[in-house]
Chain A
């Protein structure tokens, strides 16, 4: 398996533009997570899905952020309109469900998307 695949690796955009981040989880994993990492706030959970269904989006900063998972192999995180304070590294991670004996292998992270909003 190629692991969790995120695209793009880097994104530089102007304030006000729409940004779409993409993630392909590991095949067979049932849970998908979007995290944001900054120096000031560390790793923050934005939203997670179980079996393609959003379970908890309480970490999504505001209405400018939205996430979808139309099928088991693809998810998007969209920011519209983007602002300079959204600049961060956005990680996608996937795992087996909590009640799976394979959950002990934890999360696998993608390489992240480094977003810069100018």
Chain B
């Protein structure tokens, strides 16, 4: 099993749609979780941290399921500007953070 696994997509959705990504991780002792966004030919940028109780930031909602070892990202009311690759990040041990391969999202008019 890969350390951090994501569905690579691509996800092609119309504007206004709701889309959800899942990410599974192998280390049950992992403590820190993040979602990053990467635009084409740019560096990854932090989208949001994922807290145990789940958290929301505007149209974005992140959730953690420790029992099943996955995190999720929900995007509501998709915008054209949401088109990007979304990377799941999980710490394996200490400060060692591992990135998933990313899920590509394209939002179309």
Contacts and interface: CB of A to CB of B under 8 A. Distances in A.
B44 interface: yes
Contacts of B57: none
Interface in A27-83: 31, 33, 35, 42-43, 45, 48, 50, 55-56
A56 B96 contact: yes
Contacts of B43: 91, 109-112
Given A43-B87, A98-B91, A106 B46 contact: yes
A103 B94 CA distance: 12
A98 B87 CA distance: 20
Interface in B75-108: 87, 89, 91, 94-102
Nearest to A95: B95
23 contacts: A31-B95, A42-B100, A42-B102, A45-B97, A45-B99, A50-B95, A55-B95, A56-B94, A91-B43, A97-B95, A98-B31, A98-B94, A98-B95, A103-B32, A104-B49, A106-B36, A106-B49, A107-B44, A107-B46, A107-B89, A107-B97, A108-B46, A109-B43
A42 B95 contact: no
Nearest to A56: B96
Interface residues of A, number: 24
A45 B95 CA distance: 11
Dominant secondary structure at the B interface? strand
A103 B95 CA distance: 10
B71 to A, nearest CB: 14
A98 B101 contact: no
Given A45-B98, A48-B96, A107-B89, 12 more contacts: A42-B99, A42-B102, A43-B44, A43-B99, A50-B95, A56-B96, A95-B95, A98-B31, A106-B89, A109-B43, A109-B44, A109-B45
